[in-house]
Structure 1
Amino acid sequence: MRDKIKKTIMDYFYITIGIMLVASGIYYFLVPNDLAAGGVSGLAIVINHYIPTISVGLLMLTMNIILFIIAFILIGPSFGGRTIYASLGLSGAIWILERLFPIKEKVTGDLLLSVLFGILLTGIGMGIVFNRNASTGGTDIIAKMLNKFFHIDVGKALLMSDFSITLMAGLTFGKEVGMYALLAVIINGFLIDEVINGLNMAKQVTIISTKGDEIKKYIMEHLGRGLTIYNAKGAYTGEEKEVLMAVMSRKEFVRLREFIREIDHKAFITVSNVHEVLGEGFKELIGD
């Protein structure tokens, strides 16, 4: 029970960090340069151009609340607490930045730099949020509604909604800004995937060594990881060998490599990247 509470606290802690990164990218780089890079934030930037008295943060908060109400009515209560927190938290974070740390002048007037730094912050932030089994809501909800009522794939529906917003940006702010906004949408999608892969990546290590017992003990007692043992036979020598296989974090692998180097510099080790590990000792299979 205590471990579950601790995990939940850490999830919301990292979601909050992700939210603040996304909010900073949107408010300091995308909003000042009218880069409506999809999502509710992009739509809020377009609306703010026509109704400047209503802030982007307040527009996002209002639209997210409306979308959640519609989603609960039409789709059902299928949204977890993390998604509600992340979605409304992002809107609130931008609203707070507008009030406490308002923009006095653009960080940069260069559209390409604004796209790169804005998407770098938002992509990393959204990757962190998604990795903690949450979503920033917005057009994700629209995509789910299109999927339910018009049987359009969620991915295609999300692309349609984001493309529609970048099209509005082009019509509102000019085709050049619209093209940069579309570029931002494309880069953001790739960046989010890379961040998630990087956060979840582990090492699968295979070891053949004459010091197998010592290595097994080190992996289980010092690294706290389990391992699998295979019996193999060398094709050249015909000698029976014990093959150890374990999955661990990158940091743990560095420790293991140094340990093996000290006790058996002739050990044979192969290492491969594992993009995601689910189950005991890693990410749980259950959701929110």
Structure 2
Amino acid sequence: MKTLKIGLQFKMIVPIIIGTAIYAFGLLYFIIPNQLMEGGVTGITLLLNYAFHIPPSLSTLILNIPLFILGWIILGKKQMLYTGIGIASLTFFLWFIERLILKGLIIPFETQYDYILASLYAGITLGAGLGIVFRSGGTTGGSDIIAKICNRKFGWSMGQIILALDIIIIGAALFFIPIEKILYTFVTVYIASKVIDFIQEGAYAAKAFTIISDHAPEIADRITNEMDRGVTIIPAIGAYSKKAKYIAYCVVSRQEIHRLTLIVKSMDAKAFIIINDVRDVQGEGFHEE
């Protein structure tokens, strides 16, 4: 049992380390050379770098230490454990990549003309890094800790707190960088949010069919026999007719949508079909597709 617990913790910690490495690379390779911005505490580290040339690794550590201690006291060690790992890992990789850049082993991507390209790649790398960290149950600290504390103490929405902090910090950046860089930052933030959602929800997109029909059992048999897909039959009662009926529930790949629809309609032209998006499908018949 102890070995299993250690193994599970290892599987959670390794992705956090990988994610923070990707995030640190995106900041130093795409964001800082092109004077783009970020929200949260990371945005403050960028402002300190642009205004006073303070290394992001140093400011990240200094800003996060008091927040981490406060979070440990208020939220408890269980919630802050993986956040602490994320902060330590991010600080290390920022420091490590800074050293590589100073030695000329990494040449940051700096452009004078194509900022949209820098914004897109910055959004992809930052989003990929954060997505991996979030999916593993960790954070990079900063505004996430503030949001959790305010949510615990005052019941405020975490999303609204983070949004408010981002607006304040990005707005403050107007005193240090041109407004067009702020506008490019919004492109980066938007792309990053989409990549985070993609990684957290899963790369595999499928469709869930909810089929309400008087012939649901027969439809389920055909789906099972002809498409080799599992179907769940759910007993139900019609609110208007008060009659007992069945609901068939099935998840299929996008390529099978048309085929499944044809099977249902051939069995019952009046069948009521609800099709929903499904992500991160796990189980037999989906991992290898």
Taking structure 2 as the reference length, what is the TM-score of the superposition? 0.69
| Correspondences of 1:258-273 after superposition (within 5 Å) | 273=277
Trace 1:226-237 onto structure 2 (pairs within 5 A).
228=232
Q: Give secondary structure in 2 for the equivalent of 1:64.
A: helix
User: 2:35, 2:199 → 1: CA distance?
Assistant: 25
8 Å Cα contact 2:28/2:108 also seen in 1: no
**Counterpart amino acid of 1:84?**
G
Contact 2:29 2:108 survives alignment (8 Å): no
In structure 2, distance between residues paired with 1:87 and 1:159: 21
Q: Give the secondary structure class of the aligned counterpart of 1:31.
A: helix
1:115 to 102, 109, 119: 119
Match of 2:93 in 1: 93
Report what 2:69 is aligned to: 69
Q: Counterpart of 2:6 in structure 1: which amino acid? A: I
The corresponding residue for 1:170 is 174
- Kindly indicate whether the alpha-carbon contact (under 8 Å) linking 2:223 and 2:229 is maintained by their aligned counterparts in 1: no
CA distance in 2: counterparts of 1:123 and 1:213, whole angstroms:
39
1:274 to 271, 278, 281: 278
Structure 1 residues 211 and 50: alpha-carbon distance in aligned structure 2, compared to 1, 3 A threshold = closer
Quick one: which amino acid aligns to residue 10 of structure 2?
A: I
Aligned length: 253
SS of equivalent residue, structure 1 residue 133: coil
Q: Which runs of 5+ in 2 are unaligned?
A: 211-215, 236-246, 257-261, 265-272, 285-289
What displacement does 1:151 show?
4.4
| Matching residue of 2:109 | 106
1:44 aligned to 2:48?
A: no
Q: TM-score w.r.t. structure 1 length?
A: 0.69
Instruction: State how far apart, in whole Å, the 2-side matches of 1:22 and 1:277 are.
Output: 26
Contact 1:35 1:42 (C-alpha < 8 Å) held by counterparts: no
DSSP 3-state at the match of 1:113: helix
Q: C-alpha distance in 1, partners of 2:223/2:170?
A: 58
The residue number in structure 1 matching 2:194 is: 190
Residue-by-residue CA offset, 1:188-247 (whole Å, 9 max, x unaligned): 3333223212247566589968799999xx999xxxxxx74679xxxxxxxxxxx99676
The 3 A distance-change label for structure 1 pair 219 and 148 is closer
SS state of the match for residue 274, structure 1? strand
Uncovered stretches (5+) of structure 1, i.e. residues with no partner: 221-226, 232-242, 258-265, 282-288
Gap change, CA 1:182 and 1:145, over 3 Å in 2: farther
